[in-house]
């Protein structure tokens, strides 16, 4: 079991990772520390790591976002990562075994980058589809979220890398996220929002939990009693509660709460103030000891405490090709075939001659959402690249943009820009000191620059970016900067602007993620080149510098862009339209303002569908968008934000090499106004979860409104029949139900299906959702084959929270077996007996 860890110094008396031995080693280390040393350990040493304490053989612990890859300590293209599909996509697989394999991949990425702890998974719920981090959360259902999240945690930790379910709790939207007070009743908290955390703590023994920015029922989460109970006392959490970045706001209240590690550092409200608070008796030293004990226990688990073998062997280093293969398999397994009229999909490659690949996300696939969940991939395969590669020379794949999904400045990149010093594509960056001396300089591939916790940038007085910009086409370009602070931009020696841009939001992360933009217009001829220089004056005392040198290229006049696309569609065998959002629309730091596709994309799809009956739409977004044209087109494939292997996975699915395996983890509405819980806007700082237990499909069923595509829906390439479901007619309270479901593959090819079980309780003494997911299992079958599968319904599925505990109401429940939350084809009665 003990495997040498490259981080830890060799130690003669290395102990196996056995709980008692570890606890003894931790206790000895703790006893050797002064109060100052202990308190120092409880605030980060920098943005991504904790302090080492050589006196006790403790090295620093490195943490990193998460969850679709491991970014590492840098936040740019200099340190690329494997990029997996968005968490919505991962949940759409409903495949826990796959999630465990992904956990192993992420652990291998973590170790490659010297990372001990991944800041994920994000297990808040899809309360509203407008939630900015919807793409980063798994599902609207607590059981699916909990099971998928627990598999992720197990996969990581089985390889000695810590997982951090976040953000505890009720951080389900982003508007006013630092101060928002979520008002949630106890039952709703227990049955919905806490439930996934419970599964990840009690079931998967996660080593960390992240305390959210927001407050719940009046108390900010880094000081909230929910950290002690149920997390610690009831669920037996023995790990570290880490604050979300800058979420620790007090010395005494946070230290008296069950909050262990204030991130980032080195500044923060603990430090000397906490030492003084302990000395004055406001915070018991015992509380500090317990925090340090938990931190040391974490160190022991990840192999950061000398002399202790890590809790699990280090993962085998996954070769890049194997990682790419798994990323591709996962993306295809997550794609949801929402509509397939006349079985237009899969396409028969042999019969194709001309394919039109249209839309803003066709040549530039959007692989991920925005914010701390983003990584810098080694590469990203666009749908255009993927299809061209799969179809080869014989088939002509033609592309037109048709419409745009993005407005405003886009960081300069590729052959738009040439570094004037190195001659490579990109920009040249210089960090200058107060006297104008060059402290550091480097070539960078894109105009988006992020220095978080990068001391060199923080110590610089100015950052200068120079490049030679080339206009591909003639027209009016907008050239500018996205960022907060002082900027001077020149082009061709002319000053375009020289001004200080004030933040329009207080949230530092939001400033970094969606900063204000300033631009000036430049009229350029086709092929014209112009020297551009951007100088940013670094504000004193800043820990994060982030800005982009960006450009908005000219649009074609009038309807020309759309008309070009329609013309291509008309003269092609099949028209594939890739529509979607971008990482600037679905992001941490703010909520979406609309579910509509941005720009003229809806118009584009309708216009294409009008000229080509074989129109296939790929929707490239992390969460739901409205699709007013969905009945006009032959097929709709929801691809999510699919990670680096987007184009290859799309080609696999469209050409039928692989089945689109996904089933919706969240309801997709027809119209925004139908969504039962939509608003994420707090009223006077409070966001009241007035709908209680009724979110997602539960709320849709209760309202009696039909969505575009229900929770659980997904067609695949074959057809499934549920022949029957059998369950014991009665069970003792607190017992699990083992249901047996017979399923037949009634279609033409081998496939995989997710069989879903829901419970309902029409005549109940207590208020209940119209139905709730109670279990699920996957089935693989050949055409014509009938398979019997076992699906477990856990005792908790029959329980509700009342009077401070879990209660089971005896009596008759109905167990529904089906293909989605609205297509429930078989049922069985189960009576829970009196205790
Ligand atoms: C996010 C966390 C993230 C942290 C570190 C915060 O703004 O809410 O999810 O782990 O930053 O990047």
Q: Residue 4: its pLDDT value, please?
A: 37
Q: Which atom of ligand 1 is nearest to the CA of 119?
A: 10
Structure tokens given for 105: 């991949």
- Pocket of ligand 1, candidates 122, 124, 588, 590: which has the most ligand atoms within 8 Å of its Cβ, to mutate? 588
Residue span(s) of the chain under CATH 2.60.120.260 come to 415-552
Q: Residue 542: its pLDDT value, please?
A: 73
Residue span(s) of the chain under CATH 3.40.50.1700 come to 333-407+559-690
Specify whether the backbone of 233 is left (phi greater than 0), alpha (psi in -120 to 50) or beta.
Answer: alpha
605 φ, ψ to 5°?
-60, -45
Nearest-CA neighbor of 647 among 324, 323, 318? 324
- Pocket of ligand 1, candidates 117, 261, 509: which has the most ligand atoms within 8 Å of its Cβ, to mutate? 509
The rounded Å distance from CA 251 to ligand 1 centre is: 21
Nearest-CA neighbor of 359 among 645, 621, 666, 88? 621
Residue span(s) of the chain under CATH 2.60.40.10 come to 718-832
- 166-191: per-residue pLDDT in tens? 999 999 999 999 999 999 999 999 99
User: Measured between alpha carbons, how far is 550 from 412 in angstroms, rounded to an integer?
Assistant: 5
Q: Provide DSSP, 440-458.
A: EEEEESSSEEEEES-HHHH
Name the closest-CA residue to atom 4, ligand 1: 245
The rounded Å distance from CA 245 to ligand 1 centre is: 6
Contact 236, 203 (CB under 8 A): no
95 is catalytic: no
Contact 616, 574 (CB under 8 A): yes
- Pocket of ligand 1, candidates 44, 47, 245, 452: which has the most ligand atoms within 8 Å of its Cβ, to mutate? 245
Name the closest-CA residue to atom 9, ligand 1: 372
Half-sphere exposure for 699 (CA within 13 Å, toward CB) = 22
Tell me, what DSSP letter sits at residue 136? G
Name the closest-CA residue to atom 2, ligand 1: 244
Q: Which of 244, 260, 507, 591 is catalytic?
A: 244
What count of other Cβ atoms lies within 10 Å of the Cβ of residue 73? 18
- 139-150: per-residue pLDDT in tens? 999 999 999 999
The rounded Å distance from CA 109 to ligand 1 centre is: 19
Is 2.60.40.10 the CATH classification of the domain at 415-552?
no
User: Measured between alpha carbons, how far is 646 from 650 in angstroms, rounded to an integer?
Assistant: 6
Q: Residue 664: its pLDDT value, please?
A: 99
Q: Residue 453: its pLDDT value, please?
A: 63
**Residue with the two structure tokens 């350029």:** 524
- 333-407+559-690: what fold? Rossmann fold (3.40.50)
The rounded Å distance from CA 108 to ligand 1 centre is: 21
Name the closest-CA residue to atom 12, ligand 1: 372
Name the closest-CA residue to atom 11, ligand 1: 245
The rounded Å distance from CA 509 to ligand 1 centre is: 8
Nearest-CA neighbor of 212 among 186, 187, 189? 189
Q: Which atom of ligand 1 is nearest to the CA of 122?
A: 9
- Pocket of ligand 1, candidates 48, 73, 119: which has the most ligand atoms within 8 Å of its Cβ, to mutate? 119
E-strand stretches of 56-189: 63-64, 117-118, 162-163, 181-183
- The pTM of this model reads 0.94
Q: Residue 14: its pLDDT value, please?
A: 83
Structure tokens given for 379: 């590469």
The rounded Å distance from CA 212 to ligand 1 centre is: 9
Q: Residue 505: its pLDDT value, please?
A: 65
Instruction: Kindly report the CATH number that applies to the domain delimited by 718-832.
Output: 2.60.40.10
* Cβ < 6 A, ligand 1 pocket: 65, 119, 166, 244-245, 372, 509
Q: Which atom of ligand 1 is nearest to the CA of 120?
A: 10
Tell me, what DSSP letter sits at residue 212? P
The rounded Å distance from CA 147 to ligand 1 centre is: 23
Residues of the chain with pLDDT under 50: 1-11
Q: Residue 506: its pLDDT value, please?
A: 66
Name the closest-CA residue to atom 8, ligand 1: 244
Name the closest-CA residue to atom 6, ligand 1: 245
Nearest-CA neighbor of 117 among 152, 162, 160, 74? 162
Q: Residue 8: its pLDDT value, please?
A: 42
Half-sphere exposure for 388 (CA within 13 Å, toward CB) = 12
Contact 578, 358 (CB under 8 A): yes
The rounded Å distance from CA 479 to ligand 1 centre is: 30
């Amino acid at each position: 079991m003990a495997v040498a860890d490259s981080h830890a110094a060799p130690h003669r008396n290395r102990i196996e990772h056995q709980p008692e031995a570890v606890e003894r080693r931790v206790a000895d280390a703790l006893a050797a520390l002064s109060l100052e040393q202990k308190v120092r350990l409880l605030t980060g040493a920098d943005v991504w790591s904790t302090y080492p304490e050589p006196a006790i053989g403790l090295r620093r612990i490195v943490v990193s976002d998460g969850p679709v890859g491991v970014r590492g300590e840098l936040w740019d293209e200099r340190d690329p990562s494997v990029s997996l599909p968005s968490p919505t996509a991962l949940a759409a697989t409903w495949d826990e075994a796959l999630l465990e394999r992904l956990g192993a991949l992420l652990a291998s990425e973590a170790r490659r980058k010297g990372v001990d702890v991944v800041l994920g998974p994000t297990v808040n719920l899809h309360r509203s589809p407008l939630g900015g981090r919807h793409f980063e959360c798994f599902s609207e259902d607590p059981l699916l979220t909990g099971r998928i999240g627990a598999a992720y945690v197990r996969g990581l930790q089985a390889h000695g890398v810590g997982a951090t379910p976040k953000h505890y709790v009720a951080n389900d939207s982003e508007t006013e996220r630092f101060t928002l007070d979520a008002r949630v009743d106890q039952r709703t908290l227990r049955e919905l929002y806490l439930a996934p955390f419970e599964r990840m703590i009690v079931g998967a023994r996660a080593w960390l939990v992240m305390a959210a920015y927001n407050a719940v029922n009046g108390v900010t989460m880094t000081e909230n009693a929910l950290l002690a109970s149920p997390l610690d006392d009831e669920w037996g959490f023995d790990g570290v509660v880490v604050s979300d970045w800058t979420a620790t706001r007090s010395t005494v209240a946070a230290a008296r709460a069950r909050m262990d590690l204030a991130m980032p550092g080195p500044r923060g409200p603990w430090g000397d103030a906490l030492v003084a608070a302990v000395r004055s008796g406001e915070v018991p030293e015992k509380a500090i000891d317990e925090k340090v004990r938990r931190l040391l226990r974490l160190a022991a688990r990840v192999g950061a405490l000398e002399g202790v073998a890590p809790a699990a062997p280090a993962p085998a280093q996954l070769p890049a090709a194997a990682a790419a293969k798994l990323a591709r398999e996962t993306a295809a397994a997550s794609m949801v075939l929402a509509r397939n009229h006349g079985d237009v999909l899969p396409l028969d490659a042999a019969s194709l001659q001309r394919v039109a690949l249209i839309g803003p996300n066709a040549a530039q696939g959007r692989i991920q959402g925005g914010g701390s969940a983003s990584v810098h991939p080694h590469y990203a395969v666009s749908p255009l690249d993927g299809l061209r590669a799969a179809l080869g020379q014989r088939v002509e794949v033609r592309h037109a943009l048709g419409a745009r999904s993005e407005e405003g400045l886009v960081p300069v990149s590729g052959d738009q820009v040439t570094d004037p010093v190195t001659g490579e594509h990109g920009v040249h960056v210089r960090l200058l000191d107060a006297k104008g001396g060059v402290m550091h300089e480097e070539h960078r591939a894109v105009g988006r620059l992020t220095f978080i916790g990068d001391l060199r940038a923080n110590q610089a007085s100015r950052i200068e970016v120079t490049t030679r910009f080339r206009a591909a086409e003639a027209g009016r370009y907008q050239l500018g900067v996205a960022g907060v602070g002082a900027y001077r931009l020149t082009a061709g020696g002319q000053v375009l602007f020289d001004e200080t841009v004030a933040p329009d939001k207080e949230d530092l992360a939001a400033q970094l993620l969606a900063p204000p933009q300033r631009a000036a217009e430049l009229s350029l001829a086709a092929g014209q080149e112009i020297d551009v220089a951007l100088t940013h004056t670094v504000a004193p005392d800043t820990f994060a510098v982030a800005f982009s040198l960006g450009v908005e290229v000219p649009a074609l006049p009038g309807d020309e862009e759309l008309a070009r696309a329609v013309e291509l569609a008309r003269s092609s065998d099949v028209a594939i339209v890739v529509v979607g959002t971008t990482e600037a629309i679905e992001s941490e730091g703010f909520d979406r303002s609309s579910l509509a596709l941005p720009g003229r994309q809806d118009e584009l799809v309708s216009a294409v569908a009008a000229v080509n009956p074989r129109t296939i739409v790929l929707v490239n977004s992390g969460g739901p968008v409205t699709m007013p044209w969905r009945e006009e087109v032959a097929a709709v494939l929801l691809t999510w934000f699919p990670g680096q292997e987007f184009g290859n996975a799309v080609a696999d699915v469209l050409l039928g090499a692989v089945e689109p395996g996904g089933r919706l983890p969240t309801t997709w509405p027809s119209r925004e106004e139908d969504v039962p819980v939509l608003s994420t806007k707090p009223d006077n700082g409070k966001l009241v979860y007035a709908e209680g237990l009724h979110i997602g499909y539960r709320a849709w069923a209760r309202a009696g409104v039909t969505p575009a595509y229900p929770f659980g829906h997904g067609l695949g390439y074959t057809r499934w029949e549920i022949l029957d479901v059998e369950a014991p007619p009665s069970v003792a309270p607190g017992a699990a139900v083992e249901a047996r479901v017979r399923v037949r593959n009634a279609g033409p090819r081998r496939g995989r299906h997710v069989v879903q079980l829901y419970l309902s309780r029409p005549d109940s003494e207590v208020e209940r959702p119209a139905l709730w997911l109670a279990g699920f299992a996957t089935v693989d079958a050949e055409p014509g084959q009938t398979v019997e599968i076992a699906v477990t319904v856990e005792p908790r599925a029959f329980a509700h929270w009342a009077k401070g505990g879990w209660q089971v109401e005896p009596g008759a429940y109905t167990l529904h077996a089906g293909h989605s939350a609205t297509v429930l084809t078989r049922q069985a009665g189960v009576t829970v007996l009196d205790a």
